[in-house]
């Protein structure tokens, strides 16, 4: 019987080895990869981690020792990414990707964001000099959760909480973002971009189509969004083409005054020449 059993095992191994190279045997991972993300206002926050199971084991103070650095999951350290600057547990953190490591204890946890992304892989070890934030939090009790899980809770336009849950314990870190400032910056950028688009349209219509009245409408829209030396100069140039030199000179003077405060005043010579040439023209 023993020889028959060995023969069956050998035959199975031979059959597996005969499979095409691309027919890989895929089995469930002990700690499957997981990813969760959340938009908070205009900020995207995502967490990538490997999710171990409890499997009836004692977790806290046993499988995960107290008062020692933990990779906060299985395999490589957990990673968190912020698309914009955030306040993580009261600490300012620049946009970027960081490893999350923790120091669990019976009564309090320390949650750490660290710049080294290769922790616990290829020999990379934790070094506190690479910390960007350290936060102390108090764990709370929850119903049994078999697999370690990260999730976001209590999300609003300006804040959220990053929760770690496993076995019968939850650790939560508040995250805040300055959504109002981000929105204002987005509005300003959009308006400035629109102003530039309008003045570029004005210049094209004036240069190519010789439709100066339409070009003036476009450049006035640009100035209405944000007055710059550039759109004032384009308006001056269009007015001069229409023979309105006195009016053109006023806008050229505005362009000159504003441009001399800008290191990128690349039409300085043209504006200076126009002011001189148009001085005695009506």
Q: In the CATH hierarchy, which fold is given to the domain comprising 180-277?
A: 1.25.40
* The two three-digit tokens of residue 141, written as one number: 């009790």
Reported pTM: 0.71
- Residue 21's pLDDT is 53
- Residue 191's pLDDT is 80
Q: Where are the beta strands (DSSP E) in 83-193?
A: 86-88, 91-93, 96-103, 109-114, 131-137, 140-153, 159-176
- Residue 23's pLDDT is 66
| Residues 178-229 pLDDT 10s | 999 999 888 888 888 899 999 999 999 999 999 999 999 999 999 999 999 9
Rounded-to-integer distance, Cα 47 and Cα 100, Å: 9
Q: What is the radius of gyration, based on Cα positions, of the chain?
A: 32
Rounded-to-integer distance, Cα 67 and Cα 104, Å: 6
- Residue 27's pLDDT is 87
Please list the ranges in the chain whose pLDDT falls under 50. 1-10, 12-16, 18-19
- Residue 20's pLDDT is 55
Q: Residue 27 to residues 13, 24, 50, 52, 243: CA-CA distances in angstroms?
A: 17, 10, 16, 15, 80
- Residue 281's pLDDT is 85
Q: Residue 164 to residues 47, 94, 170: CA-CA distances in angstroms?
A: 11, 22, 6
- Residue 89's pLDDT is 97
- Residue 234's pLDDT is 97
- Residue 97's pLDDT is 98
* The two three-digit tokens of residue 69, written as one number: 């650095």
Q: How many CB atoms lie within 10 A of CB 195?
A: 21
- Residue 76's pLDDT is 87
The domain ranges of the chain are: 28-177, 180-277
Contacts of 238 (CB under 8 A, 6+ apart): 202, 206, 212, 215, 216, 219, 248
């Amino acid at each position: 019987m023993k020889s028959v059993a060995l023969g069956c095992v050998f035959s199975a191994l031979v059959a597996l080895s005969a499979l095409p190279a691309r027919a890989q045997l895929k089995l469930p991972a002990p700690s499957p990869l997981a990813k969760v993300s959340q938009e908070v206002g205009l900020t995207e926050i995502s967490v990538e981690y490997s999710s171990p199971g409890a499997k009836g084991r004692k977790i806290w103070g046993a499988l995960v020792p107290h008062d020692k650095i933990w990779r906060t999951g299985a395999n490589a350290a957990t990673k968190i990414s912020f698309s914009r600057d955030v306040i993580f547990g009261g600490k300012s953190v620049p946009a970027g990707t960081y490893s999350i490591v923790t120091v669990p204890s019976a009564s309090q946890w320390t949650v750490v964001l660290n710049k080294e992304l290769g922790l616990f892989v290829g020999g990379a070890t934790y070094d506190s000099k690479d910390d960007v934030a350290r936060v102390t939090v108090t764990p709370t009790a929850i119903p049994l959760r078999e697999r370690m899980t990260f999730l976001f809770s209590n999300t609003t336009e300006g804040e959220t909480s990053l929760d770690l849950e496993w076995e019968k314990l939850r650790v939560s870190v508040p995250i805040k973002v300055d959504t109002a400032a981000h929105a204002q910056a987005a509005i300003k950028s959009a308006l400035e971009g629109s102003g530039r688009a309008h003045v570029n349209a004005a210049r094209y219509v004036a240069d190519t189509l010789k439709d100066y009245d339409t070009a003036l409408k476009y450049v006035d829209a640009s100035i209405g969004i944000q007055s710059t030396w550039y759109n004032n100069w384009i308006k001056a140039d269009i007015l001069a083409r229409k023979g309105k030199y006195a009016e053109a000179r006023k806008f050229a003077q505005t362009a000159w005054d504003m441009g001399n405060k800008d290191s990128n005043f690349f039409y300085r010579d043209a504006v200076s020449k126009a002011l001189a040439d148009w001085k005695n023209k009506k």
